[in-house]
């Protein structure tokens, strides 16, 4: 307890020197692909200082040494620097595109019995993969005719734990029509809701860092990747690496849905641009060739 | 419930063969095998040589992209990539520029030499690489180029880049171009536009 340890520093006593900031920034980039500029130093320092104090370290150098040997603390640190706020039916125009265009094209080339594989990465605390599940159940008339696998992946294991738990606040559900809340959620104490057990059991969650080839290399034959609002945190090299990794995960003809401010055309020449009434998405060529 | 929970990925499916086997696979007839080989070659110095050899003969865009991305992650590859600026293959030239733009650290060491190359085409393409540097550094390099450059096409490219990212330090050099190339109206026009953009002048 802090009162018993008067020598424990407080936030005003933690100083991060210029070279330490640069070292930490490089470290975080290598581990996550996330880039912070000098202008974001205050933001980075605040979160880093919080972690140093919470972990009981006395200085940056002590904490940095721990990061290299304590995977749990590294996970907590990554959690502090990844943005996890999201909500159900966010960017639902892409879900409309999924059911009005993409799935018809995918199933036209797929044999019966082959699953349709949809991947939400990063999935944060699960709002997106569960949104995909609910949207398909509510809006795709052929949902009963196909086996549909939904995968949610994130670099942050704490977010994944929350996703598997499936408990959400009113704020997370603000875009979801109330009848759907009633249909798929159970009200809990404190204005919280737990998603239906069957839905929780239908989404497979896993830890994946999309710039890590070994992580993404385990996945193949994905039909649609939802990779929204993460590449904007990466620099050019990390974006390019992520695009290559996702390309290899996709089935021929598979699609990537990015956030509405992102463009794969500026990242990689590997994908075709597909303009649908609801959204622009990016497609891996049917043949593994552009020629 | 039509939604099914898939099996976790099978770790055994991951291709874990050695970098030596990957080098063999780089010569496969199957583009998919070659692409996967590129991605598991590793990051040792021997990878640069193997990737460069593969890149010079590779015609499949998806494999080329994988090779260029792999090379861009290897600082030792900057010099070999820069050598592609002399290639007759436009795809290789542009691929090398894009790769070098994503590795500003190694690229900044090469740029002074490249911007002084005897070949005007190399100087022109190298100016594009300078685009990836911080504005002050790019401005200094491109201004140095403009002060000694006699090729109009190289100057025009440098001016266009300065119009986009140049700092006010570039203004005297840009204004001097009109005096140095009095009969090349397009260059004077481009320099005027660049000065206006940099200074925020309306007319």
pLDDT band at B201 (very low <50, low <70, confident <90, very high): low
Which run of H or of E encompasses A212? none
What is the predicted pLDDT for the residue at B9?
A: 67
pTM score, two decimals?
0.79
């970098």: which residue's tokens?
B19
Identify the weakest region by mean pLDDT among A65-69, B16-20, B59-63, B187-191: B16-20
A28: CB partners within 8 A, 6+ apart:
A34, A36, A77, A81
A237: CB partners within 8 A, 6+ apart:
B72, B73, B102, B103
Query: Model confidence over A173-231: pLDDT tens digits?
Result: 998 999 999 999 999 998 999 999 999 999 999 999 999 988 898 899 999 999 988 88
CB B3 within 8 A of CB A200: no
Region class of A191: left (phi > 0), else alpha (psi between -120 and 50), else beta = left
What is the predicted pLDDT for the residue at A232?
A: 79
Which of A145, A240, A289 shows the shortest C-beta gap to B102? A240
Residue B36, chain A, CB below 8 Å: the answer is yes
Are A201 and B36 in contact (CB < 8 Å)?
no
Quote the CA–CA distance of B160 and B178 in Å, as a whole number: 15
**What is the ipTM score, two decimals?**
0.75
pLDDT band at B203 (very low <50, low <70, confident <90, very high): very low
Q: CA of A213, closest CA in chain B: separation in Å?
A: 8
Q: Is pLDDT above 70 for A11?
A: no
Identify which of A89, A95, A78 has the alpha carbon closest to the alpha carbon of residue A230. Answer: A78
Are B6 and A240 in contact (CB < 8 Å)?
no
A78: CB partners within 8 A, 6+ apart:
A31, A32, A155, A156
**For strand A148-154 and strand A116-120, is the pairing parallel, antiparallel, or unpaired?**
parallel
Residues of A with CB under 8 A from a CB of B: 115, 117, 133, 136-137, 143-151, 198-199, 201-204, 206, 213-214, 217-220, 235-237, 240-241, 244, 247-248, 268-270, 285, 288-291
Residue B135, CB half-sphere, CA atoms under 13 Å: how many? Answer: 10
Quote the CA–CA distance of A5 and A15 in Å, as a whole number: 19
For A195, phi then psi, to 5°, come to -70, 150
Quote the CA–CA distance of A31 and A230 in Å, as a whole number: 15
């Amino acid at each position: 307890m802090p009162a018993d340890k008067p020598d424990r520093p407080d936030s005003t006593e933690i100083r991060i020197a210029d070279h330490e900031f640069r070292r930490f920034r490089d470290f975080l980039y290598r581990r996550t692909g996330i880039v912070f500029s000098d202008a974001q130093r205050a933001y980075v320092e605040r979160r880093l200082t919080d972690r140093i104090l919470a972990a009981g370290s006395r200085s940056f150098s002590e904490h940095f040494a721990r990061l290299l040997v304590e995977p749990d603390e590294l996970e907590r640190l990554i959690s502090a620097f990844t943005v996890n706020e999201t909500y159900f039916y966010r960017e639902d125009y892409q879900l409309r595109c999924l059911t009005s265009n993409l799935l018809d094209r995918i199933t036209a080339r797929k044999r019966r019995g082959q699953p349709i594989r949809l991947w939400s990465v990063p999935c944060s605390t699960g709002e997106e993969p569960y949104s995909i599940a609910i949207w398909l159940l509510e809006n795709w008339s052929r949902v009963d005719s196909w086996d549909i696998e939904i995968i949610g992946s994130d670099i942050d294991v704490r977010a994944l734990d929350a996703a598997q738990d499936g408990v959400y606040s009113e704020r997370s559900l603000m875009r979801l029509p109330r009848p759907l809340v009633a249909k798929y959620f159970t009200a809990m104490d404190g204005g919280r809701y737990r998603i239906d057990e069957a839905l929780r059991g239908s989404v497979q969650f896993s830890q994946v860092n999309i710039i890590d080839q070994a992580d993404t290399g385990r996945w193949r034959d994905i039909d649609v990747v939802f990779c929204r609002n993460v590449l904007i945190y990466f620099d050019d090299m990390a974006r390019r690496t992520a695009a290559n990794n996702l390309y290899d995960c996709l089935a021929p003809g598979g699609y990537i849905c990015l956030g509405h401010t992102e463009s794969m055309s500026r990242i990689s020449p590997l994908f075709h641009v597909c303009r649908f009434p609801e959204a622009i998405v990016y497609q891996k060529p049917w043949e593994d060739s552009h020629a | 419930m039509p939604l099914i929970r898939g099996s976790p990925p099978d770790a055994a499916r991951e291709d874990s063969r050695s970098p030596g086997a990957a080098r063999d696979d780089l010569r496969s007839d199957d583009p998919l095998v070659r692409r996967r080989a590129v991605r598991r070659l590793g990051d040792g110095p021997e990878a640069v040589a193997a990737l460069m050899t593969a890149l010079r003969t590779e015609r499949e865009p998806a494999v080329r992209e994988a090779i260029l991305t792999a090379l861009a992650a290897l600082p030792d590859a900057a010099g070999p990539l820069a050598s592609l600026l002399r290639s007759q293959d436009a795809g290789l030239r542009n691929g090398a520029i894009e790769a070098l733009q994503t590795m500003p650290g190694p690229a900044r060491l090469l740029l002074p030499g490249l911007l002084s190359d005897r070949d005007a085409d190399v100087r022109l393409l190298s100016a594009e690489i300078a685009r990836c540097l911080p504005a002050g550094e790019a401005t200094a390099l491109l201004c140095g180029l403009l002060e000694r450059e006699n090729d109009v096409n190289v100057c025009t490219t440098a001016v266009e880049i300065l119009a986009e990212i140049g700092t006010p330090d570039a203004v005297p050099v840009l204004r001097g171009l009109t005096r140095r190339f009095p009969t090349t109206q397009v260059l004077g026009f481009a320099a005027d536009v660049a000065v206006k953009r940099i200074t925020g002048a309306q007319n």
